[in-house]
Amino acid sequence: MIDKDVYGPWAVVAGGSEGVGAAFAHRLAEAGINLVLIARKPEPLERTAHEARARGVEVRTLQLDLLAETAPAAVREATEDLDIGLLIFNAGANSYGHEFVTGDLDRFQGVLGLNITSQLALTHHFGARMKERGSGGIMLVGSLAGYLGQGQVSVYSAAKAFSRVFSEGLWLELRPFGVHVLELVLGVTRTPAMERAGLRMDLPGLDVAEPDDVAGEGLEHLADGPVWVAGGNGARAEQRNAFHDRAGLVLGAQEASRRLLPAE
């Protein structure tokens, strides 16, 4: 059970409406930690908030597009009177699968805006507050995609690589002040976003994680930063991080990822 004396009494979950984000909300509510849930879609946001309240905690919701210029200020205003002990940044699914040189540059900028700029803004704000209070935690949800370049999602993969290295540096900066930092690296996870994309998760030999399992694993290892690879994917992450024969690794991973795409 997560320690609410360290990570409470309030937690902010960006991308907290469905999938892994909803699983975080449920587990934190069960631990007695009040929630600020941020998401774009009102229906799943309110559903998850209702489920968390049924577990006996207070919940504030912010229906918000984190790409909006006013989003950081809106989050600051909505949480100004709260003692935030945990930030979970889980909002980063806008991978925009397209070849880079023929794709829409504005959409690629949106991938960077959500996965890097918005993440930095919230981490900067809440990290400073946690440093001052001398306790807390920051979890940035990453991806195995950040260990290896991939065609069609080259910008997304690069953004996730940034997040991992940023987490390591931030961990060094905040650990003397009692603030835990963790990048939780996910592999293939059965989320509504993945299902909407039509990815084939029933392939033989494919290890698919469940949202509740990876959320529980992340919270269990929050103090074990700077990086934790979830779902038994540690060996896969090490392989992708190897420096020998990068061309072979990139080509092999690309071929494997094609198996996940919907059949034409």
**253, part of any domain:** yes
The proportion of the chain whose per-residue pLDDT surpasses 70, expressed as a percent, equals 89
Q: Which of 7, 96, 147, 156 is catalytic?
A: 156
Q: For the chain, what is the domain count?
A: 1
At 220, list the tokens. 């269990």
> What is the C-alpha to C-alpha distance for residues 5 and 9, in angstroms, rounded to an integer?
7
pLDDT over 60 (residue 202): no
**264, part of any domain:** no
226 preceded by a cis bond (ω within 30 of 0): yes
Do the beta carbons of residue 129 and residue 84 sit within 8 Å? yes
**237, part of any domain:** yes
Q: pTM to 2 decimals?
A: 0.90
**103, part of any domain:** yes
CA distances from 216 to 22, 58, 174, 221, 257 (A): 12, 21, 23, 9, 26
The mean pLDDT of 69-95, rounded to a whole number, is: 94
pLDDT over 70 (residue 53): yes
**37, part of any domain:** yes
Structural domain harbouring 155: 4-258
Give the pLDDT confidence score for residue 199 in this predicted structure. 57
pLDDT tens digits, one per residue of 102-113? 999 999 999 999
The proportion of the chain whose per-residue pLDDT surpasses 90, expressed as a percent, equals 73
The verdict on whether 156 is a catalytic residue reads yes
pLDDT over 60 (residue 166): yes
pLDDT tens digits, one per residue of 226-242? 999 999 988 888 888 87
pLDDT over 80 (residue 246): no
**Do the bridges between strand 84-89 and strand 10-14 make them parallel or antiparallel, or are there none, so unpaired?**
parallel
CATH number of the domain residue 155 falls in: 3.40.50.720
